[in-house]
Chains A and B, each alone.
Chain A
Amino acid sequence: MVLLLVLLAIFAPLLAPYPPDQIGVASRLAVPGPGHWLGTDEFGRDILSRIMYGSRLTLYVGLVAVGIGLTCGISIGAIAAYAGRWLGGLLMRAIDLLYTFPDVLIALGLVAFLGPSLTNAMIAVGISVVPYYARVTYAIVLAERQKTYVEAAQVVGAGHARIIVRHLLPNVVPPMIVVASLGFSAAVLSAAALSFLGLGAQPPAAEWGLMLATGRNYIERAPWVVIAPGMAIFIAVMAFNILGDGIRDLLDPRQVERTF
């Protein structure tokens, strides 16, 4: 399902029946049917094509936002858990403070500060999820650190850097990938929300949240203008959640031996 989405994004220019910005005055708010499978919007742009192009933005936004969140989150969480004592405590208290605010609120504040644009929205969403990733990483690293193999590595003579990079990270990253793929959908949703509020992508970009926002004026006359991007967001979020579950099952090399 995600693969389909990715393929769609990559080959959008080939698959889309129309360019996303092609305005057709004659066919404004056309009813879905042959010619325009999902109808057209207020400027007569083909909604199917815009959804297809929108998938590129969506994936891009998700990727960048999760990338930022994951990188910063893993670093902060891992350092906090490994360092322990006061540095770890300090970092985690700071993270806890951020964690008390809803993600979207942080993102909103950041965008207000940076100015509305898609790039800033991505950065904002990315930063807003850092506390989440940091917390999860912290918990995982803390649990892994307790395991004897860390001590065993120390005994063999491995230094801190080696223990973190060679021993801890390989055990921390896979579960984090699962967390990230689940977080991807949240990031997509946040970015769409920001765009919806006019703080993210700016018209005439083909972004799902934005399409939803501009389309809502016509909701009574042409509900398909809203339904299509709404469904697209829903499907994308679902797809990534399912992917996350799949990866979780796949990534565990310890195919749990069942011993009775």
Chain B
Amino acid sequence: MDAALPVSSDAALTLSVRGLSVSFRDGGAQVPALEDVSFDLHAGEVLALVGESGSGKSLTALAIMGLLPGGARVDRGTVLLESCDLVSLGPREMTCIRGDRMSMIFQEPMTSLNPVLTIGRQLTEGLEIHLGIAVATASARAVELLRLVGIPSPERRMREYPHQLSGGMRQRVMIAMAIACDPKLIIADEPTTALDVSIQAQIIAVLAEIRARLGTAILLITHDLGVVAEMADRVAVLYSGRVVEVAEAEALFDAPRHPYTQGLLSAMPRLDWLAAEGPRTRLAEIAGVVPSLRDRPDGCSFWPRCPLATEQCRREVPPLISTSDGRVAACWVRQVAA
């Protein structure tokens, strides 16, 4: 399996997920939700984990953070954060690592901020806990952080409550909290989905700035290929709990290898086509529905929707392997280099 994922970067390996399998209890049975998920993330790199609902992308994030919901558990696999296996850590050790060496940005900035505490208090709290610094130092650092994420007049904002801020500002505060302890890894779970289009672009810019300045690795979890195109260096595509393709972002958009990735890209309405002359082209569709984890088909999960499916696809799960042209995908048909 490791051979399939060529180490392309010289940068230090920040996060290495290997063979991660997660299942959750449903009635009496264990339903597998993630199967054999593997990927690497280097310092200063943005890896996008792309998938639809039920693909397991958020579950992957939660598994890495050690925040799996009740009933879900890690069955197999390792999650190495700078050579420290997070899966084997106890809850108390995880609490130390969370917020310090890795942190998370959630989709909905309103519910993830405590409404009865001031922005300043929420920011300094983490600093005091993890860095053990004095209150005065902490609040000076908090102001600095707010400035770093582009919040105007940060001293004033420190005294305000979350409801006094707009959605975009709240997400900036979330980012400030996430980078407070200078983490090695930020997991951003749909950081722009709840925001307006014009605010989305601002948040993407903030994240890009942070990555450039602090060299933080970012695991970007999203369903939106536009966001991927905007900020990802590499992309891992998840479908129904399995990684189906891993590629450099440009290569993926140039020539997607897995039929699912291909379908996703061509189903995206694109402005540049629409503004062009000539009759409108019909959007390509991916037929069928996203399978629920409970009745995932045998073999490749994508075969019922796949235009290329063969008999083998229906029976056997394709492994994630690299082809001779250096592409990594899990597809029986596309095993041979194009």
- Write the residues of chain A forming the contact surface with B, with a CB cutoff of 8 angstroms: 257-260
Contact = CB atoms under 8 A, between A and B. Distances in A.
B292 A260 contact: no
A259 B69 CA distance: 11
A260 B54 CA distance: 6
A260 B53 CA distance: 7
Contacts of A260: 24, 33, 54, 56, 58-59, 62, 69, 72, 293
B26 A259 contact: no
A260 B69 CA distance: 9
A260 B58 CA distance: 6
A257 B56 CA distance: 15
Contacts of B26: 258
Contacts of A257: 292
Nearest to B57: A260
Interface string B47-91: 000000110101100100000010010000000000000000000
Nearest to B293: A260
* Chain B interface SS verdict (over half): mixed
Contacts of B292: 257, 259
Nearest to B71: A258
Contacts of B69: 260
A257 B59 CA distance: 15
16 contacts: A257-B292, A258-B24, A258-B26, A259-B53, A259-B54, A259-B292, A260-B24, A260-B33, A260-B54, A260-B56, A260-B58, A260-B59, A260-B62, A260-B69, A260-B72, A260-B293
A260 B67 CA distance: 12
B292 to A, nearest CB: 7
Name which of A257, A258, A259, A260 has the most chain B CB atoms within 10 A of its CB.
Answer: A260
Given A260-B33, A260-B58, A260-B293, 5 more contacts: A257-B292, A259-B54, A260-B24, A260-B59, A260-B62
A249 to B, nearest CB: 13
B25 to A, nearest CB: 10
Contacts of B62: 260
A216 to B, nearest CB: 48
Interface in B293-314: 293
A39 B69 CA distance: 54
Nearest to B72: A260
Interface in B15-57: 24, 26, 33, 53-54, 56
B258 to A, nearest CB: 21
A182 to B, nearest CB: 25
Contacts of A259: 53-54, 292
Nearest to A257: B292
Contacts of B56: 260
Contacts of B58: 260
A259 B59 CA distance: 10
Contacts of B33: 260
A259 B241 CA distance: 12
B231 to A, nearest CB: 24
A257 B53 CA distance: 12
A252 to B, nearest CB: 15
A31 B69 CA distance: 56
A219 to B, nearest CB: 48
A258 B294 CA distance: 10
Interface string B267-296: 000000000000000000000000011000
B75 to A, nearest CB: 14
Contacts of B54: 259-260
A45 to B, nearest CB: 50
A170 B134 CA distance: 58
Contacts of B53: 259
9 nearest CB pairs, A to B: A260-B59, A260-B33, A259-B54, A259-B53, A260-B58, A260-B56, A258-B24, A260-B24, A260-B54
Contacts of B72: 260
A65 B263 CA distance: 62
Nearest to B33: A260
B82 to A, nearest CB: 26
A259 B54 CA distance: 6
B193 to A, nearest CB: 15
Contacts of B24: 258, 260
A18 B121 CA distance: 73
A200 to B, nearest CB: 46
Contacts of A258: 24, 26
B51 to A, nearest CB: 11
A99 B69 CA distance: 39
A230 B72 CA distance: 45
A33 B134 CA distance: 75
A230 to B, nearest CB: 39
B115 to A, nearest CB: 21
Nearest to A260: B59
A259 B293 CA distance: 8
A257 B69 CA distance: 14
Contacts of B59: 260
A81 B74 CA distance: 47
B134 to A, nearest CB: 41
A260 B63 CA distance: 11
A259 B26 CA distance: 11
A257 B292 CA distance: 10
Nearest to B25: A258
